[in-house]
Amino acid sequence: MPRTLITGGAGFLGSHLCERLLKEGHEVLCMDNLITGDLANIDHLFGHPGFKFIKYDVTEFVYVEGGLDYILHFASPASPIDYLKLPIQTLKVGSLGTHKALGLAKAKNARFLIASTSEVYGDPEIHPQVESYWGNVNPVGPRGVYDEAKRFAEAMTMAYHRFHGVETRIVRIFNTYGERMRVNDGRAIPAFMSQAIRGEDITVFGDGMQTRSVCYVSDLVDGIYRLLMSDYSDPVNIGNPDELTMLDLAKEVLEIIGGSSRIVHKDLPEDDPKVRQPDITLARSLLGWEPQVSRREGLARTAAYFREKVR
């Protein structure tokens, strides 16, 4: 039975990864300090013979008794509302946390996968974004704490791969949605859905013509698992290339939720990317992966979850 550590395992993506790896026959150690994670996300896994939860801050020295085969480093605030509120913690988990997790991977001879992000591309000048693009990031802007933490994490991961021979994988995650996103997450789909369910105005920033490409969580997790099991060490984009404007996304959410909410516009946040679309040519050829769940179906599943959570 492979033994796998997932940092940030009580978060949105981490909890889905815990489920997937348990289904694949892994013993899963879920580590989280619960700054943005939630035990409710993994409550159904307690009592599973292959699952163990460890409350711990990965920026401290990490020791795990026994062997490890895989480490997935997903610990980090991931929404603008979180990393603007927790800037130092975001930088620390991307730097110190990545260093500690990589040190553990080296000590245990474990394969290491880092959760990077499309935010390493910043406000891109190349569209769609391909892995060879180096990005256009403002390092001293308010979003720089997240963007640069992830860029540093990628550099540290490659340094451990090249210098220490650690088996490493880097996934660049594009916008993802689904069950277990927090109602107050601050990202577009949770915000649109919670506002529509409450009958409030739906807030779209700027003119709404900025674009995103949103991927349903089960598709993302499948891509991550395939990358983990591959032999490829350079970054790989995982996301849905089906691009749409934020205004159109708000309209789709309102159509699914129903009700009489109006769409209103507010000022665009500083350094908000104007476009975001992954080039997934590499994922298709290397992993045989591409999204399977349509946006309509994924939004409907997510809406059912939010109807139960929004008060």
Which residue type occupies 270?
E
What's the helix, strand, coil split of the chain in %, to 5? Answer: 40, 20, 40
Q: In angstroms, rounded to a whole number, what is the distance separating the alpha carbons of residues 87 and 79?
A: 11
DSSP 165-203: ---EEEEEE--EE-TT--TT--SHHHHHHHHHHHTPPEE
* H or E, element range at 73: strand 70-73
Distance separating the N- and C-terminal Cα atoms of the chain: 42
Q: Could you tell me which residues are beta bridge partners of residue 112?
A: 71, 168
Q: Is the dihedral of CA 146, 148, 149, 153 positive or negative?
A: positive
Helix H segments across the chain? 12-23, 80-85, 87-92, 98-108, 144-164, 188-198, 217-228, 246-257, 281-287, 295-309
Catalytic entry in 146, 177, 216, 225 = 146
Half-sphere CA count of 113, side-chain side, radius 13 A: 26
Token pair in block for residue 208: 């709404």
Asked if 70 is an active-site residue, the reply is no
Give the pairing type, strands 3-7 and 27-32. Answer: parallel
Annotated catalytic residues are 146
